[in-house]
């Protein structure tokens, strides 16, 4: 698939390359038939088949950005369901492997939650219920590097935001059912927000000297990536459900601060955190992070405070566990501080340009065009905060696999 993706640069292999997805799919279909022809004889995990399905689902967009690979993920779900039913016949190692692949599937569905609202396409993610309070077991995942629960919280947040925007975008007139669904969405957003605020991503290095080793640098990058995922999840919730900001900061909203500029300030802070991850590190995750941050770079004029604002516990909510989410705790002396939206936008574009020569160049181009279109809409909106980037993406059909 990597070779097939370079057909535009190497036209002489175009005919051969075009057959790559078909040949790969035919091989997979053959393996699937063998597996499901005798499901009661399954006693081991067909790991090569599952990995092949994951790889095809992610790489089809390299040739055609509209290909989301959802059909391959459906087969992964079917295989995992079969393996769970046959769990008693699997070895302990294979049972662990099933859990590993299920977490891989949650990541893949989290990426697709940005571009689809169909429940069947992201059923593993939607059925996953986060604990209402930490602690979480933050184990790094071999597939993504980032703890699976952080990825799942991001996916749940994106799925909720996408569903909400789809509902309103297709609304002709408000109805009782619509308002009821809106209230359910707001309640779910509040629960997710409180969970995300309660999460503390642990440092993966014990002392400063470790930062200068290869392992220490990678662990630091993964820590920062996990924190960016967490904050991007909050950013998406605040953009889609801006009343959450009023609920969280009731005294500050209206006094030199509004819900729109506050979200932009958060996006600027996240951009600074993202800048700590080198462009050459965890490249597979960075486009998704760039989208999460870039979608929040809205207001050209933002009041940047000396100390980043603090999210405080709302005393009226008895479901939150003494949360004090101070951005200043996350600041680092070496972290780039963005005080200007244009500078942050240019940083995001520059980072994405560096990925334009990878096999996934097609989706990167779509991502760049999407962000440029979103920012153009932001800069011309009559009422600040009236345009949502998910609506722009849906209207212009800039949808692809961003991670």
pLDDT at 8: 61
Contacts of range 316-323, beta carbons closer than 8 Å, 24 or more positions apart: 317/190, 317/194, 317/247, 319/132, 319/191, 319/194, 320/194, 320/197, 320/198, 321/133, 321/198, 323/194, 323/197, 323/198
pLDDT at 235: 97
pLDDT at 245: 86
Q: Which residues contact 300 (CB under 8 A, 6 or more apart)?
A: 341, 342, 379
Q: CA-to-CA distance for 213 and 170, rounded, in angstroms?
A: 52
Q: Which residues contact 276 (CB under 8 A, 6 or more apart)?
A: 220, 221, 224, 332, 334, 335, 336
Stated length of the chain: 403
Nearest CA-CA partner of 156 in 236, 222, 98: 236
Check if the beta carbon of residue 309 is closer than 8 Å to that of residue 248: no
pLDDT at 309: 46
pLDDT at 326: 40
pLDDT at 313: 46
Q: CA-to-CA distance for 128 and 371, rounded, in angstroms?
A: 30
Task: Tell me the domain boundaries of the chain.
Answer: 1-124, 129-403
pLDDT at 207: 57
- DSSP SS3 for 253: strand
Q: CA-to-CA distance for 380 and 386, rounded, in angstroms?
A: 11
- In this prediction, the residues of the chain whose per-residue pLDDT falls under 50 are 256, 303-309, 312-330, 333
pLDDT at 176: 82
pLDDT at 364: 95
Q: Which residues contact 381 (CB under 8 A, 6 or more apart)?
A: 387
Q: CA-to-CA distance for 269 and 228, rounded, in angstroms?
A: 10
pLDDT at 277: 94
Radius of gyration of the chain (CA): 22
**Which helix (H) or strand (E) element contains residue 310?**
strand 310-312
325 has which bridge partners? 311
């Amino acid at each position: 698939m990597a070779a097939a993706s370079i057909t535009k640069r190497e036209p002489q292999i175009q005919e051969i390359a075009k057959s790559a997805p078909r040949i790969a799919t035919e091989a997979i279909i053959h393996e699937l038939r063998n597996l499901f022809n005798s499901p009661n004889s399954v006693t081991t995990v067909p790991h090569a088949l599952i990995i092949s399905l994951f790889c095809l689902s992610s790489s089809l967009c390299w040739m055609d950005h509209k290909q989301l690979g959802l059909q391959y993920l459906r087969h992964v779900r079917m295989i995992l369901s079969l393996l769970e039913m046959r769990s008693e016949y699997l070895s302990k190692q294979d049972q662990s492997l099933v859990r590993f692949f299920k977490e891989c599937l949650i990541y893949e569905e989290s990426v697709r939650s940005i571009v689809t609202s169909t429940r069947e396409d992201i059923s593993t993610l939607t059925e996953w219920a986060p604990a209402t309070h930490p602690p979480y077991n933050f184990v790094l995942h071999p597939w993504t590097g980032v703890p699976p629960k952080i990825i799942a919280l991001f996916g749940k947040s994106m799925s909720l935001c996408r569903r909400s925007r789809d509902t309103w975008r297709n609304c002709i007139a408000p109805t009782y059912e619509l308002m009821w669904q809106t209230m359910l969405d707001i309640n779910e957003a509040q629960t997710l927000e409180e969970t995300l605020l309660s999460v503390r991503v642990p440092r993966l290095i014990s002392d400063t000297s470790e930062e200068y080793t290869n392992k220490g640098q990678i662990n630091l990058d993964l820590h920062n990536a996990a924190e960016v995922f967490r904050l991007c999840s909050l950013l998406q919730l605040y953009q889609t459900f801006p009343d959450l900001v009023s609920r969280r900061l009731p005294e500050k909203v209206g006094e030199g601060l509004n819900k729109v500029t506050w979200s932009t300030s958060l996006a600027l802070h996240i951009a600074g955190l993202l800048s700590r991850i080198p462009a050459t590190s965890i490249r597979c995750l960075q486009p998704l992070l760039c989208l999460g941050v870039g979608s929040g770079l809205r207001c050209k004029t933002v009041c940047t405070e000396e100390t980043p604002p603090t999210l405080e516990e709302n005393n009226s909510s008895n479901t939150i566990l003494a949360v004090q989410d101070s951005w200043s705790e996350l600041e680092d002396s070496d972290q780039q501080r963005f005080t200007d939206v244009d500078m942050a936008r240019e940083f995001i574009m520059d980072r994405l340009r560096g990925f334009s020569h990878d096999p996934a160049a097609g989706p990167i181009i779509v991502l760049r065009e999407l962000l440029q279109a979103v920012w153009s809409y932001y800069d011309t909106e009559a009422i600040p905060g009236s345009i949502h980037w998910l609506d722009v993406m849906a209207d212009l059909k800039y949808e692809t696999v961003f991670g």
